[in-house]
Amino acid sequence: MSKEDDIVSTEEKTVRLLDDNLKRMDGRKLDELGDIRIEAGALGRADGSCYLEWRGNKVYAAVYGPREVHPRHLQDPTRGILRCRYNMAAFSVGDRKRPGPDRRSVELSKVMGEAIGSVVFTRQFPRTSVDVFVEVVQADAGTRCAGLTAASVALADAGIPMRGLIASCAAGKIEGHIALDLRNEEDNFGDADLPVAIMPRTDEILLLQMDGHLTEEEFFQALDMAMKACHEIEQIEKQALLKKYKEALGGEE
């Protein structure tokens, strides 16, 4: 490590992420999930949609399809194709982000699309495509998790046949402690971040990435914490879907 790096890391350590009682700066305990609000069917033109607020994250997901694939040579006669596009609005972060796709959004679109593709029964709609759009309009770390969770609700809202819902949450390490659902400052100045997506029905892991350093024991502690949170999140997803369909049928909430 160069002398310059040393100075940077010393400066970073001056940002306090935990108080003396191990409470975080937003008042949460280490294993406490941020507030999540999910609205199914938030967009009129999509076949299925979702608006999700999660701490400082605000995310829309829109699903179109199954619909005919253009250009036609991309059609697969044996199954439908699943396409996912993750995009972060230029105004979604503190420092304006350059609009349009970049390496990060291409990576996130790919890993999110693969996670979604592994739960959707694509063989039930050959020659067609299902297109999933995730638009982050306000970001506060954990947007891939927020985006996947919103996409799962939007897919269910569109009636796309799936093996189960997807729920996603990250855990990480701040000031030497494993913590759930890092916000932006904790992600930037913390030691590690471990985004996880599962299908809670079977606990199958659909996405697992890691940034930073964790020991083996810490890794499993963080994974366990994130997976437990995913089960909580799945319940919030189900409530949002039930609310929409009860309202549509004229029933009570």
Beta-bridge partner residues of 34? none
The size of the interface with ligand UDP (CB under 6 A), counted in residues, is: 12
Q: Is 142 in the site for ligand UDP (CB under 6 A)?
A: yes
- Report the nearest approach of ligand UDP to the CB of residue 127 (Å): 33
55: region left, alpha or beta (phi > 0 left; psi from -120 to 50 alpha): left
Output 187 or 218, the one with its CB closest to ligand UDP. Answer: 187
Residue 106: how many CB atoms within 10 A of its CB?
11
- Whole-number minimum distance, CB 104 to ligand UDP, in Å? 6
Distance in Å, CB of 186 to ligand UDP, minimum:
10
Contact in structure between 59 and 146 (CB atoms under 8 Å): yes
User: What residues between 169 and 188 interact with ligand UDP by CB under 6 A?
Assistant: 184, 187
Q: Does 97 bind ligand UDP (CB under 6 A)?
A: yes
Pick the piece of the chain touching ligand UDP (CB under 6 A) from 60-68, 141-149, 199-207, 237-245. Answer: 141-149
Decide: is 244 part of the binding site for ligand UDP (CB under 6 A).
no
DSSP 67-103: EE-SSGGG--TTS-EEEEEEEE-TTSSSSPPPSS--H
Closest separation between CB of residue 122 and ligand UDP, Å? Answer: 25
CB 49 within 8 A of CB 64: no
Cα 145–Cα 148–Cα 149 angle in degrees, nearest 5? 85
Give the residue with the Cβ less far from ligand UDP, 93 or 236: 93
Please count the other Cβ atoms lying within 10 Å of the Cβ belonging to residue 246. Answer: 12
**Is residue 141 within the footprint of ligand UDP (CB under 6 A)?**
yes
8 A C-beta contact, residue 191 and residue 239: no
Q: Check residue 104 for interaction with ligand UDP (CB under 6 A).
A: yes
The CA-CA-CA angle for residues 32, 233, 221, to 5°, reads 50
Minimum distance, C-beta of residue 86 to ligand UDP, in the bound complex (Å):
9
> Is residue 139 involved in binding ligand UDP (CB under 6 A)?
yes
93 touches ligand UDP (CB under 6 A): yes
Q: How far does CA 111 lie from the centroid of its chain?
A: 11
Question: Which residues here bind ligand UDP, judged by CB under 6 A?
Answer: 93, 97, 104, 139-144, 184, 187, 195
